[in-house]
Amino acid sequence: MATESGARPQKAGAFDIRLIIALLIGVYGVILTVMGIGFTTEDELKKAADVNINLWAGIGMLVVSAAFIIWARVRPLVVPAEPESTDTPPAQAE
């Protein structure tokens, strides 16, 4: 898909904000999941009405992170090859 000048539009790639958000949420999700699986005590579970909050919050964050990644892959942002031109000519220097 080339433009008139032959330049091809590029995808945002690693600079897509959705991937940055997915990375941050994913890192926190992994940390919470590990904490929920390996480091939750019985006393902490009793305080939370026998619900492993860290585990469920971590799994939820991993699901949201995966959704952001899928969204970024299915509908990538396309960066135009050339900046948009304006209809007015540039100002003349006197």
Residue ranges of domains in the chain = 10-77
Indicate the pTM of the whole model: 0.73
What is each CA distance from 2 to 6, 44, 52, 76, 81, in whole angstroms? Answer: 5, 59, 53, 17, 9
H or E element in which residue 78 lies: strand 78-79
pLDDT tens digits for range 3-49 = 555 667 777 777 889 999 999 999 999 999 999 999 999 999 999 99
d(CA 35, CA 44): 12
pLDDT number for residue 5: 57
Tokens at 45, concatenated: 């579970």
H or E element in which residue 9 lies: none
